[in-house]
Structure 1
Amino acid sequence: MTTYAPGQDSAAATTATGSLTRSADAVRSASKRAYLHHVDLIRATTFSLVIFVHCLTQTTDEFTSLPVNTTSLLLHFTRNTFFALTGFVLMYQNYEKTDFRATEFWRRRIKLVIFPYIIWSAVYWLVQKVWAQGRIAEVVSNPVHSLGEFAGLVGWGLSGFQMYFLFVMLQVYLLFPLVLFLVRATARHHGLLLAAALGVQVAITAAITYWQPPAPISDYWWHHYATFVPYQFFILYGAVAAVHRDAIARWLEGKGWWLFGALLVTGTIAAGTYLTGVWFRGQPVHDNDSAFYPYLLPFLVVAIACLYAAAAHWATHWRDFTPRFARAVSYASNRSFSVFLAHVLVLFFILKPQSGGQAWILETFGQPWGTIVAYVGTIGGSLLLVEILRRLPGSSYLTGRPRLPLPGRTS
C-alpha cells in the first residue's frame, strides 16, 4: 500500500502546522481501500431477493405449496450471502490495518446496528403484536409484564421475522476481532482453515436437521438460527475471499459456463433431494430448518461464488458502459440496510386490508399478480419510507446510515 512521507521543511511554526495537517489528510486518503463496486451489486441483488422471498411466503400458502417451498429452499443462499459479504467487507477493511483495535472497531460498528435493532424491534412489537392483535389496553394496564415480553423478543430477534438477522450481525461484530486474528494467524493455511470450518458446518447442519435435543435444552435449541453458529463457515468464506480477492478474480476469468454448470448441478441435487424427501419419505412440505439442510451446502457455496463472479465481471467489464444501471446499483446498495429494516412493516400494511377472507391485493389481482404487485409495492413503499427517515434528525439511529440533506439544501 502506498504511504505518504512529508518532506516539507518546518522552518516556521505556521508552515509546520499546515504541513502536518496536509500530511495527516494525505495519510488518511492513501490509507483508504479502493472502492469495490461489485460489492454494491451483490448487496443490492441479495436484499432484493430477500424481499421477494418474504413477499412470496406472505402471499402464498407456504406450508403446503411445493413450488413455493422449493423456491424458498434455493433462495436461502441469500441469507448466507449476507454473512459471507459481511465477512468479506470487514476483512477487506481491516486485514492490513496495523493499528486495528477491537474497542474502536466495536465503538464504530455496533452502534450502527444496535440502535436500529432496538428501535425497529419496538416498532414491530407495537404494530404487529400489540396494535394488530388488539392488545393496547392490556399493554397499558400491565407495563411491567409488557416490557418483559418485549425484552424476551429482543433477546432472540423475534419482534419482526427478519430482525434475527440484525441480532446475528451484532454477534458477528462482537466476534470479528477473533475472526481477524484467526485469519491472520493462518495466513499460509487458509485452505485448511476453510476445510475445517466446512467440516464443522456439516456437523452443525446435520445436528440441526437430524438430532432431537433432550427436553432441558429443547426450548433453547430452536433459536439456533438467531446465533452466529450456523453461519460460521460463510463468515470465514467471505473473510478468506477478501484476503485472496485478486487471485480469485484471476481464477474466475473465463469460467462463467463452468460456474453456471456447477450451479445447475448443485441446485438440482438440493431441489431433488428435498422433493424426494417429500414424495417418498414423508418429509414435511414446509420445514423451518430447511435453510440448514446438509445437502443444500454445495449449492449455497456455489451460488455465492456465482453471484460474486457475475458482479465482479460487471464491475470490471461493463460498469463504465452502463452508467444508469451503475447509479441505480449504488443507490440501492446505499439504502439496502434501511430498506431491510422497513420492508416487513410496509408489506404488513400492504396485506392488511382484507377482502373475501384474504388480503385485498390478492383478492383483486389473483396469483401470481398479487405476489408481483405486493413485491413492487413493498420495494417502492420501503424506498419512500427510507427517503423520509434518512432526512430526519437521528437518521443513523433509525436507518443505520447518516442523515441526508433536505431537498434544495446541501449537506
Structure 2
Amino acid sequence: MSRKERIIEIELLRGLAFLAVALQHSIAHFAYVEGVSFGDGVIMTLLLVLAKFAVPVFIFITGMVLFYNYDGQFNYLSFLKKRAKDIIIPYILWSFVYFSLNYGWQQGWMGQSWKWFTMLFTGKTSSHLWYIVMILQFYLLFPVFRYVINKVRIKLSLWACIASIVGVGLLYVWLTGQVSAIGKMMSTVEIPVITAMFTKYADRNFLYFFFYFVLGACAGIRPDIWKAWIRRGRWMYISCFIILTVYYLILVTGSFRTPTGLQIGFHAVSLIRPMMVVFLLSSICVVYMLASWMKGKGERRYNTFILSIGKYSYGAYLVHALMLRVSYIFDMAWFVQWPIILRMMISFTICVLLSYLLMLLLSRFTWGKWLGGVPVKKDGIELYKLQDK
C-alpha cells in the first residue's frame, strides 16, 4: 500500500458520522420516555433525519479509503491481518463486554460461551454491533470489488464509467424495494447462513448497502472528479436533500397521532428503502460538501476537535452504547424534570465526551489499541494518519 496525501475531508467525515450515530441512539431512547410530547417528536424527527447519513457515510469512507490507498500491488493476507488487528479484535473484546452486561454468565460458562461465540457472527450482543458484522463483509470481499471495478475502469471510457455508476445506482434503488420479496423467497429454502442473511439478518447483509461502498470506491479512484461533482452539482443534491428532508418530516410526524394516542416511531426512515436511498445519497454529498467547507473555512478549534473524534471514531463507536447507559444514570439523577429535548442533548453530549475521552486515554497505552484506541508512537507523538476503518 503506497503512502499518499491525507484527504482531510475524510477525517472530518468520520467525526461527523460518529456524532450522528450517537445522536440517533440518544433519540431512540428519549422518544419513548414518559412525558414526551408531539413537539418533542417533531424535533426528534428532524434531528434523526438530518443524522441518518451516518451509516452510509461510514460505508462510503471505507470504500473511498480502500480504493485510494490500495491502488498498486495488493497482498490479501497482509490486508486481512491488519483488519484483524485494527477491527476484529476490538470488536470481539467489546462484544464480550456487552454480552456480559446484557446476558450475563449465570446460566453456566459453557452454554453462555457458545451463545456469545455465535453472536459474534450476528452482532446481536448489542444493538449497534450489527454494523461491524455488515462492514466486515466488505473487507472480506474487497478483492472481488477491486477486481470488478478495476476491470470496468480499464475497459470503459470515463463517460461510460459514469453511466455505469448511474446504472448500478438505479439497480441498487430497485433492489432495496425487493427486500421483503427476496426474504419470502429465501425463507422457502434452507441454505445454511445464506437463508438467514436474506431473512432474519437481512439488515446486515452487505448487498443491501453495497452501492455506498461502490460510490466511495469511485471517489477514491478519482477524487478529483468526485470533488468536482461536489462543487458543481451542489444545487442538484442540496435541492434533493431539502425536499426529502421536508417529505420525511411530514411523513414521520403524521404517523404520531393514532386512535389510541400519541405513539412516536421512526420506522418510515429505516435505511433499506428506495426513497431513503435517494435521500441518503444526497446526504453523503451534502455532508462531504460540509466537510470540504470546514477544511477550507471552518473554525480551526472546531475542526481540530472533529478531526480528533474522527481519529478515535471506531473505538468510540464500539463503546458509545455503554457510555449512553452511563449518561442515562446522570439523566435520572439530575435532569429528569428538565425538558426532554434538553435531556436528550445532554445525554448525547455526555456520551460523545465519555466515548472520546476513554479512547483518548486508551491510546496512551500500547495495549489500548486492542480496545479501539489509536496507539501513540514510542516517542510520544500521536500516530495520525488516514485509517481505513
If the TM-score is normalised by the length of the shorter chain, which range does it land in? 0.7 to 0.9
Match of 2:348 in 1: 375
Alignment of 1:190-269 (within 5 A): 190-208=161-179, 213=184, 216=188, 221-253=199-231, 256-269=234-247
Residue of 76, 89, 96 corresponding to 1:115: 89
Shift of 1:151: 1.8
- 1:92 pairs with 2:68: yes
Shift of 1:298: 1.3
Match of 1:33, SS? coil
Task: Evaluate the alpha carbon distance shift between residue 204 and residue 271 of structure 1 in structure 2; reply closer, same or farther with a 3 A threshold.
Answer: farther
Shift of 1:278: 7.3
Shift of 1:266: 2.9
The separation in 2 between residues aligned to 1:288 and 1:113, in whole angstroms, is: 31
Residue of 287, 311, 314 corresponding to 2:294: 314
Task: Evaluate the alpha carbon distance shift between residue 219 and residue 235 of structure 1 in structure 2; reply closer, same or farther with a 3 A threshold.
Answer: closer
Shift of 1:155: 1.7
Unaligned runs of 5+ in 1: 1-27, 131-135
- Contact 2:365 / 2:375 at 8 angstroms: preserved in 1? no
Over the aligned positions, Cα root-mean-square deviation in angstroms equals 3.2
The normalised TM-score by structure 2 is: 0.82
Task: Evaluate the alpha carbon distance shift between residue 342 and residue 287 of structure 1 in structure 2; reply closer, same or farther with a 3 A threshold.
Answer: same
Aligned amino acid, residue 396 of structure 1: K
- Contact 1:73 / 1:290 at 8 angstroms: preserved in 2? no
Match of 1:162, SS? helix
Match of 2:374 in 1: 401
- 1:387 pairs with 2:360: yes
Deviations 1:208-248 (A, max 9, x none): 35666265578661311222121101100111122222123
Aligned amino acid, residue 140 of structure 2: L
Shift of 1:397: 1.2
- 1:146 pairs with 2:125: no
Aligned amino acid, residue 161 of structure 1: S
Unaligned runs of 5+ in 2: 190-194, 383-389
Deviates more, 1:99-108 or 1:247-256: 247-256
Match of 1:246, SS? helix
- Contact 1:62 / 1:69 at 8 angstroms: preserved in 2? no
Match of 1:23 in 2: none
Shift of 1:48: 0.6
Aligned amino acid, residue 248 of structure 1: W
- Contact 2:31 / 2:264 at 8 angstroms: preserved in 1? no
- Contact 1:278 / 1:285 at 8 angstroms: preserved in 2? yes
The separation in 2 between residues aligned to 1:204 and 1:45, in whole angstroms, is: 28
- Contact 2:95 / 2:126 at 8 angstroms: preserved in 1? yes
Deviations 1:51-78 (A, max 9, x none): 0111111122189975345643553221
Tell me the percent identity: 18
- 1:166 pairs with 2:145: no
Aligned amino acid, residue 111 of structure 1: K
Match of 1:341, SS? helix
- 1:298 pairs with 2:278: yes
Alignment of 1:11-160 (within 5 A): 31-61=2-32, 67=42, 68-69=44-45, 71-95=47-71, 97=72, 99-130=73-104, 136=105, 138-139=106-107, 142-160=108-126
The separation in 1 between residues aligned to 2:98 and 2:152, in whole angstroms, is: 42
